[in-house]
């Protein structure tokens, strides 16, 4: 079983909106964090897209009420 935790600011209507959000919002924030902590930039080199579930009920998404992460 896989459990993903998401916050309200991460829910978008479709894949195109998510990829735009990744580039415009999450990546710049993570890049700033990585530069401050590691002294190196970051990049979205690997993006996981789950388009279906071959075993129903194997994945659970928990939506939290408060924002977490970016």
By C-alpha distance, which of 25, 2, 3 is closest to 12? 25
Would you give the DSSP letter of residue 6?
E
Separation of alpha carbons 29 and 50, rounded Å: 24
CB contact burial 35-53 (16+ within 10 A = b; e otherwise)? eeeeeeeeeeeeeeeeeee
pLDDT at 14: 92
Render pLDDT for 10-49 as a digit per residue (tens, 0 to 9). 889 999 999 999 999 999 999 999 999 999 999 999 998 8
């Amino acid at each position: 079983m896989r459990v993903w935790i998401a916050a309200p600011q991460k829910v978008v209507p479709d894949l195109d909106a998510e990829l735009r959000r990744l580039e415009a919002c999450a990546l710049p924030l993570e890049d700033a964090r990585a530069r401050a902590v590691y002294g190196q930039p970051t990049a979205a080199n690997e993006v996981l897209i789950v388009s279906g579930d071959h075993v129903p009920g194997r994945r659970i998404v928990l939506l939290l009420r408060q924002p977490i992460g970016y």
